Amino acid sequence: MFMRHTVLLGLDHAAAEAASMIMGSLLRLGKPINALDVLICGIAVSNNAESIITSDKDFDEVRKVANINIRLI
């Protein structure tokens, strides 16, 4: 039932480009995070997501460089 109402977003060219911009910004700040987390952020940003809800504290660094709300639970 849950999957019927879930939109799955994939890694495409726009998402990879957004992820590379995010990682570049994090590297310039000296705050790189796990590459898979950056790809997730790139997918969210490129699809105009309003926020990412996670318990992974690495995502907290993303809010410094990307226009997306990170909600830690």
Cα distance between residue 13 and residue 21, in whole Å: 12
CATH of segment(s) 10-72: 3.40.50.1010
Name the pLDDT band for 10 (thresholds 50, 70, 90): very high
CB 39 within 8 A of CB 62: no
Give residue limits of the domains in the chain.
Answer: 10-72
Write the pLDDT tens digit of every residue in 13-69: 999 999 999 999 999 999 999 999 999 999 999 999 999 999 999 999 999 999 999
pTM of the model: 0.88
